[in-house]
A and B are shown apart, each in its own frame.
Chain A
Amino acid sequence: MFAAEFEYRKAGSIADAVRLLSENPDAKLLAGGHSLIPLMRFRLARPEVVIDIGGIDGLRGIRISDGTINIGALTTHAEIANSADVQQANGLLAEAAGGIGDPAVRNRGTIGGNLAHADPASDWATVLTALGATVSVQGPSGSRTIAVGDFVEDAFATALAPDELITTVSVPVLAANQRAEYAKMAHPASFYAVVGGAVVVTMDGDRCTAASVAVGGLTPRPVKAAAVEQALSGTTLTMDSIADATSRLSEDLNAAGVDIIGDVYASADFRSQVAPVEVKHALLHAIGLAHH
C-alpha cells in the first residue's frame, strides 16, 4: 500500500526542524518511521508535509550525569537495550527497550518517536511514567520540560505543540535500594503491550518505603496507580501483601476516569483482569520472588 502524496523536507538541525514545523503546522516529524509510515500507508495519517529529522546528530546518544540518564530523542531502542551504561544505571530501561518489537524494529525505532506517537500499547510510556522520567521539548520560544505522565494526554495525543519536537528523554538513575521491573502481556505478532505494568520500589530490607506503579496498554494513556502505591508503601513485601496491594488497581482505573480498551484480541474485561496480574509479576520480579 502507498501513502497519500506528501512533500518531503529534511531538517539539518533542531533549529531547522522547529522552523520547518512553524512554517508547516500540520506537518509530521519522521524519525525512525516505524509508527508514522505504516499509519500513512494505511491512510490513517495524511500529512501534506513530512519533516525528516533522522539526520540530526544532536538528537542522538546517551549521556549520564548527576544521577540522570539523558537520552537523545533519536536514540534507538537497540542502542538503549545494548548500552552497558544504561544497564548499570537503570536496568529497567535496558530491559524494556529490549522487549520492544523485534530486533530489526529495535534497530530503527526511536524513544522520542515512540513517545510522540503515543500509542496506548507503547511500552515506553508506561515504563517511563513509573520511572518518573521527563521529556524536554524544543519550540520557537525555547525549551520546556514535561513529566512523561503528563506528556501523554490520550491515545495518540500528547502535550506537544504543533511547532515543538522532543529533544531529550531524562530518566533518574536508580538508587542502590531501588528495584524496577516491567511485565507485559504482549501481542504475539507485534509484541505491543496488550497490558503492561511497571513498578519502582524503594526498599529498606524487605520493607517497601516508597512505590511508583503505572499500567498501560489497556488505557488510552498510562495510569499511575496511587492506591496500589499507597498499599505497598510501608509494607513488608511478601506474596500476600503484594497480592493485596495489586487487588486495589481497579480503584485506580476507576479513579482515572478512562475507558478500558477492548478489541478483537483482548476484551476490556479481560484486560482489566490481567492488569493486576502484570503488576504483581513485576513486583515479584522486583523483589526476587519470581524470575523472567
Chain B
Amino acid sequence: MPNTVPITVNVNGRSHSADVEPRTLLVHFLRETLNLTGTKVGCDTSQCGACVVKMNGVTVKSCPAIAGQAQGAEVTTNEGLAQDGNLTAVQEAFWNNHGLQCGYCTAGMIMSVTEIIERNPNPSAEEVRAGLEGNMCRCTGYNNIVKAALAAAAAGQGG
C-alpha cells in the first residue's frame, strides 16, 4: 500500500485535492504539484523567507511545513494576490520602486510586506524593517524593498 495522505487545500481561491507522500513539504506541493513556482525554496533552514505564503490569514514559511498540515487550509501565494490582472498596491510599488534585483526573494517579500501593511496601514521604515526580519535579500536590495513597502502604504491599499 503506498504511504500517502489525502489532502484538500484551497489555494488562491481554488480547491485542490491530492494524495501526497507524508514528507512532501508544503512548498513542494505548491511548486511541483500545483505548478505555482512563484514561491521559492531559498535556505532550506527556515531563515530566508523565500517560501513565505499566507495560510489561514497569516504569513507562514512553507518549507518548514508539510503539506498535510495544510489540510483544509486556505493558502494564498504571490500568484493569488493580483485580481483580474491588476497588481496589488504592494506589487505595483515593488515594480515602481525597483524593489527587487535578482527577484528570488520577491514573492516572499511581497507576502510579508502585504501582511505588515494589513496589520499597520502606516508603518515607519523601522517597522517595515522589523517586519521583514525573516526575509533575506542576498542581493542586499533592502533599501528599495523598504521604499516599496512605504510607497504601498502611502498608496493606501495594503492588499
B60 closest partner in A (C-beta): A108
Cβ of A104 and Cβ of B112 under 8 Å apart? yes
Whole-angstrom distance between the Cβ of A74 and the nearest chain B Cβ = 12
Q: Which of A186-230 contact B (CB under 8 A)?
A: 189-191
A-B contact count (CB 8 A): 78
Cβ of A2 and Cβ of B66 under 8 Å apart? no
B43-67 vs A, CB cutoff 8 Å, 1 = contact: the mask equals 0111101001000001111001110
Cβ of A71 within 8 Å of any chain B Cβ, yes or no, is no
Whole-angstrom distance between the Cβ of B49 and the nearest chain A Cβ = 7
Whole-angstrom distance between the Cβ of B30 and the nearest chain A Cβ = 15
Contacts of B52 in A (CB 8 A): 104
Cβ of B3 and Cβ of A41 under 8 Å apart? no
Cβ of A101 within 8 Å of any chain B Cβ, yes or no, is yes
Cβ of B22 and Cβ of A104 under 8 Å apart? no
Cβ of A104 and Cβ of B59 under 8 Å apart? yes
Cβ of A34 and Cβ of B69 under 8 Å apart? no
CA distance A55 to B56 in the complex (A): 13
Cβ of A78 within 8 Å of any chain B Cβ, yes or no, is yes
- A101 and B134 contact, Cβ closer than 8 Å, known pairs A5-B3, A5-B23, A8-B22: yes
Contacts of B131 in A (CB 8 A): 103
Cβ of A37 and Cβ of B133 under 8 Å apart? no
CA distance A38 to B61 in the complex (A): 12
A1-13 vs B, CB cutoff 8 Å, 1 = contact: the mask equals 1111111101000
Contacts of A3 in B (CB 8 A): 23
Whole-angstrom distance between the Cβ of A209 and the nearest chain B Cβ = 36
Cβ of A30 within 8 Å of any chain B Cβ, yes or no, is yes
Cβ of B5 and Cβ of A102 under 8 Å apart? no
Contacts of A1 in B (CB 8 A): 44
- A30 and B49 contact, Cβ closer than 8 Å, known pairs A1-B44, A107-B58: no
Cβ of B47 and Cβ of A190 under 8 Å apart? yes
CA distance A34 to B134 in the complex (A): 13
Cβ of A262 within 8 Å of any chain B Cβ, yes or no, is no
CB contact between B23 and one of A2, A52, A190 (< 8 Å): that residue: A2
Contacts of B136 in A (CB 8 A): 189
Q: Which of B96-116 contact A (CB under 8 A)?
A: 112, 115-116
Cβ of A102 and Cβ of B64 under 8 Å apart? no
Cβ of A107 and Cβ of B59 under 8 Å apart? yes
Cβ of A50 within 8 Å of any chain B Cβ, yes or no, is yes
CA distance A134 to B33 in the complex (A): 43
CA distance A190 to B46 in the complex (A): 8
Cβ of B44 and Cβ of A41 under 8 Å apart? yes
Cβ of A155 within 8 Å of any chain B Cβ, yes or no, is no
Cβ of A61 within 8 Å of any chain B Cβ, yes or no, is no
Cβ of A33 and Cβ of B44 under 8 Å apart? no
Cβ of B47 and Cβ of A189 under 8 Å apart? yes
Q: Which of A1-50 contact B (CB under 8 A)?
A: 1-8, 10, 30, 33-34, 37-38, 40-41, 50
- A103 and B65 contact, Cβ closer than 8 Å, known pairs A5-B21, A7-B3: no
Cβ of A102 and Cβ of B133 under 8 Å apart? yes
A101 closest partner in B (C-beta): B134
CA distance A141 to B21 in the complex (A): 34
Contacts of B59 in A (CB 8 A): 103-104, 107
CA distance A107 to B115 in the complex (A): 11
Contacts of A91 in B (CB 8 A): none
Contacts of B69 in A (CB 8 A): 30, 33, 52, 54
Apart from A3-B23, A30-B66, A102-B133: 7 A-B pairs, beta carbons within 8 A: A4-B23, A50-B22, A52-B69, A103-B116, A105-B61, A107-B60, A108-B65
List residues of A whose CB falls within 8 A of some B CB. 1-8, 10, 30, 33-34, 37-38, 40-41, 50, 52, 54-55, 78, 101-105, 107-108, 189-191
A-B pairs with beta carbons under 8 Å apart, 13 shown? A1-B44, A6-B22, A8-B68, A10-B68, A33-B69, A37-B64, A101-B134, A102-B134, A104-B59, A104-B60, A105-B61, A107-B59, A190-B45
